[in-house]
Copies of this chain bind each other. A is one copy, B any other.
Amino acid sequence: MDKNNYFSTRRTIRKYDLSRPVSEVFLRELLAKASRAANTGNMQIYSVIINRDPEKIAALAPAHFCQPAIKGAAAVLTFCLDLNRFNRWCELNGTQGGMNNLQGFTWGVIDTSIFAQQFCTVAEMEGLGTCYLGTTTYNASQISDALALPSDVIPVITVTVGYPAETPELQDRLPLDAVVHSESYHNPTDAEIREFYAAEEANPASMKFVTENGKQNLAQVFAEVRYPKAANEQFSRVYKEFLKDKGISL
């Protein structure tokens, strides 16, 4: 990995070289650096659980729909919003933490994400590969059981880690003008929207998804196959109920 070029050429790695283990000591060094990133009020309302034991990783895999990235990972890190430590410190000091609500949830998701992202950057600059799994908020309850999470601790992000055994293509990104606005929000015209997505739609991999799924276009693949509304709404109800069981009411 070329450190000077790292930020321009960053790739997600889903296949790992398992002949090269990743020690807990090394992961802790990387996490110590990652924890230097900013966080709300310096409260550090996050925790991370490191799984390296293959049996424990296997126990987590079904909650992540047994994606190849988790099954072949040297380590799996579950980053959690953690109000447990802070709330108990408050109780021990005769007061009550007040973040078991939408504000605390949002700050916690932000801080957990910043910490996870800084870990990925530090780890990748040291030669490791990482992959974010988007499944953590679907099956938070199973993950919570597998990791013995107490009340006030919520799984938010899972990252798989290992030395890379692949060099995938660099993924497309939308044109920068789609994402960056100057002084105020520029609401794109319909023509601009079409233009923003034109390159991604023309990509052979995208066209293959459309054909394979019997859809007419790429937007339908996203909205009807990958992230269908009814499923998202159902998983939202389940996640909200889980949050409530863990003590956080939105």
- A interface residues, Cβ below 8 angstroms from B: 7-10, 12, 24, 28, 31-38, 40-44, 46-53, 56, 80, 82, 84-86, 88-90, 92-99, 101-104, 106-107, 109-110, 113-114, 116-118, 120-122, 130-132, 134, 137-138, 146-150, 153, 156-157, 171-174, 176, 178-185, 187-188, 190, 193-194, 196-197, 216-220, 222-224, 226-233, 235-236, 239-240, 250
Contacts and interface: CB of A to CB of B under 8 A. Distances in A.
B179 A239 contact: no
A227 B109 contact: no
Given A42-B172, A113-B117, A147-B184, A223 B98 contact: yes
B50 A38 contact: no
Nearest to A121: B121
B35 A156 contact: no
Contacts of A37: 10, 117, 120-121
A198 to B, nearest CB: 11
A142 B72 CA distance: 47
B41 A227 contact: yes
A104 B137 CA distance: 10
Nearest to A173: B35
A48 B179 contact: yes
B226 A185 contact: no
Given A106-B156, A185-B148, A101 B36 contact: no
Given A80-B185, A90-B222, A94-B216, 17 more contacts: A28-B180, A31-B179, A37-B121, A40-B134, A49-B185, A56-B184, A88-B188, A99-B232, A101-B233, A102-B239, A103-B137, A104-B232, A107-B134, A107-B137, A110-B157, A149-B185, A240-B250
